[in-house]
Homo-oligomer: A and B are copies of this chain.
């Protein structure tokens, strides 16, 4: 992190905020194996048309997704390759944490006080 100015922190916060909505994560998930148009995204996620459009705009403005009009349709695709790995990283961290909490139900001498770091690798 080295010392981040308030302005930079604001941008980082904005970035995370984009990823902090289930619907937007669903949209990103629906794009994980290639470009799709709005109708296809609606079908896959079950979200309403206006809603999908709005989320896609937010994702596009954040630079996470690329907009590509093609005739009467508009295709979107993930443009930031960091996103999926990052989601997976978080996901893995959550798994680790739950696993740790689960272990607390089986108190053995070895598993006690091993590490006070929930996310040790």
Contact = CB atoms under 8 A, between A and B. Distances in A.
A80 B94 contact: no
A63 B101 CA distance: 11
A117 B66 CA distance: 9
A45 to B, nearest CB: 10
A79 to B, nearest CB: 6
A32 interface: yes
Contacts of A121: 81
Interface stretch (A34-42, A50-58, A82-90): A82-90
A82 B93 contact: yes
Interface in A15-46: 15-17, 19-22, 25-26, 29, 32
A22 B10 contact: yes
28 contacts: A1-B29, A1-B84, A1-B87, A2-B88, A3-B29, A6-B22, A6-B26, A8-B94, A9-B26, A10-B22, A11-B94, A12-B19, A12-B25, A12-B90, A12-B91, A13-B19, A14-B20, A16-B17, A17-B17, A17-B20, A20-B20, A63-B97, A63-B118, A66-B116, A79-B118, A80-B118, A81-B119, A81-B121
